[in-house]
């Protein structure tokens, strides 16, 4: 009974202190007016401080990331790889932040200019967009990417990461906001959407009086939902559906090495190969070796009828498999009669 009362009290207090979606959007809009006027030194100071904070607190960040991994232990190996933050991964994040420091400040840069016949000089000058909402999943490094790029370009960010990376995103946001304050920039320049309801995203992207741009990054369902519900301009990506085609004149060893690397080096990314097409004239030379290498890497193979004759470990592919972005150790393989058939399949 006491535990339940404490939980209810905590829930009420959290709601009391939590900003509403509209309040966060308003604070972001106010911060955008200040960030428009931020100096290059301030923005570069933010980047230097943030890089230092992440580097010096790597163990704390990894400890928080471990909580996310523990709470999401049933996710696929590929998803786990996307979620995991290692010391090497954090070093990569720090290097990416530092690479922005020497880059020229894009704000105020003259893109082109000309003088009219009447003597009027017209210049096209780069300016910040304003408040950018970025919705993403799994990868906790994205919150740092977004913060660094937005602040360098004089923009404000409201981010909404996936629940599976909540602990990681929270600690990274704390360092982002600390770096903002140390650089003399508004803390609200980078916020995380506090309302964790799925409906909260749709409410936020309808506030076109405060939000200037939405960038969704993730599953096709997420992209489609944001595009359908947003009253704000959306920059979106299509899903990855990468194919590898092994032609009849291919170098077999190179072709197999390329496919194995493209599928297994990082299967959770949208540029990993999802479908392999093999010309029938080279199939006998390729298939047994290719399947053996894939099975060694624990790749599940969905094959057409001809592919399945090369190993009983293959599963018969359905029509949906040819249109599936697995983002996992899984691949579909089809044997085709010609180069033209391969191109038609890829185009479809």
How confident is residue 17, by pLDDT bands cut at 50, 70 and 90? low
Q: 49 pLDDT exceeds 70? A: yes
Span 219-243, pLDDT tens digits: 778 889 999 999 999 998 877 789 9
CA–CA dist 159, 173 (Å, integer):
10
User: pLDDT-based confidence at 14, cuts 50/70/90?
Assistant: very low
Whole-angstrom distance, CA of residue 273 vs CA of residue 301 = 12
Candidates 169, 41, 213, 176; CA nearest to 97 is 176
Pick the closest to residue 193 from 133, 129, 234 (CA basis).
133
With cut-offs at 50, 70 and 90, classify the pLDDT of residue 301: very high
- Reply yes or no on whether the pLDDT at 52 is more than 70: yes
Cα separation values, 134 from 170, 212, 306, Å: 15, 11, 44
* 242-347 CATH: 3.40.309.10
Task: Please state, rounded to an integer, the average pLDDT across all residues of the chain.
Answer: 92
pLDDT of 10: 45
Three-state secondary-structure class, residue 26: helix
What are the start and end residues of each CATH 3.40.605.10 domain in the chain? Answer: 21-102+125-229
Superfamily of domain 21-102+125-229: Aldehyde Dehydrogenase; Chain A, domain 1 (3.40.605.10)
Distance CA 215, CA 95 (A): 24
Lowest mean pLDDT among 12-16, 71-75, 80-84, 113-117: 12-16
Give me the half-sphere count of Cα atoms (radius 13 Å) on the Cβ side of residue 47. 27
Least confidently predicted of 80-94, 248-262, 330-344: 80-94
Write out the residue limits of the CATH 3.40.309.10 domain(s) in the chain.
242-347
Q: Which residues, in sequence order, are CB contacts of 94 under 8 Å at separation 6+?
A: 51, 54, 55
Which whole number is the average pLDDT over 177-203?
95
Question: How high is the pLDDT of residue 218?
Answer: 79
């Amino acid at each position: 009974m006491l535990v339940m009362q404490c939980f209810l009290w905590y829930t009420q207090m959290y709601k009391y202190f939590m900003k509403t979606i509209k309040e966060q959007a308003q604070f972001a809009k106010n911060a955008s007016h200040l960030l428009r006027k931020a100096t290059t030194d301030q923005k570069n100071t933010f980047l230097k401080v943030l890089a230092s904070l992440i580097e010096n607190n790597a163990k704390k960040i990894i400890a928080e990331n471990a909580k996310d991994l523990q709470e999401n232990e049933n996710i696929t190996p590929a998803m786990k790889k996307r979620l995991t933050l290692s010391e090497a991964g954090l070093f990569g994040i720090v290097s990416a932040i530092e690479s922005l420091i020497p880059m020229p400040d894009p704000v105020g840069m003259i893109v082109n200019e000309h003088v009219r016949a009447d003597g009027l000089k017209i210049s096209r000058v780069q300016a910040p967009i304003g408040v950018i909402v970025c919705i993403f999943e799994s990868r906790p490094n994205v919150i740092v990417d977004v913060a660094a790029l937005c602040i360098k370009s004089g923009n404000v960010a409201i981010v909404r990461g996936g629940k599976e990376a909540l602990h990681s995103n929270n600690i990274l946001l704390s360092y982002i906001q600390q770096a903002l304050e140390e650089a003399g920039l508004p803390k609200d320049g980078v916020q995380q959407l506090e309302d964790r309801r799925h409906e909260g995203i749709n409410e936020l992207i309808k506030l076109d009086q405060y939000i200037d741009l939405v960038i969704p990054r993730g599953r096709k369902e997420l992209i489609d939902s944001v595009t359908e519900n947003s009253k704000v301009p959306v920059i979106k990506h299509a899903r990855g559906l990468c194919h590898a085609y092994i032609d009849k004149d291919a170098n077999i060893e190179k072709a197999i090495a390329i496919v194995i690397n493209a599928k297994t080096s990082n299967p959770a990314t949208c540029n990993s190969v999802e479908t392999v097409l093999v010309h029938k004239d080279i199939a006998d030379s390729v298939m047994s070796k290719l399947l053996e290498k894939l099975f060694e890497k624990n790749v599940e193979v969905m094959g057409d009828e001809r592919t399945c004759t090369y190993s009983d470990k293959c599963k018969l592919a359905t029509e949906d498999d040819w249109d599936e972005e697995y983002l996992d150790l899984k691949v579909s393989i089809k044997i085709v009669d010609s180069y033209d058939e391969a191109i038609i399949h890829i185009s479809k």
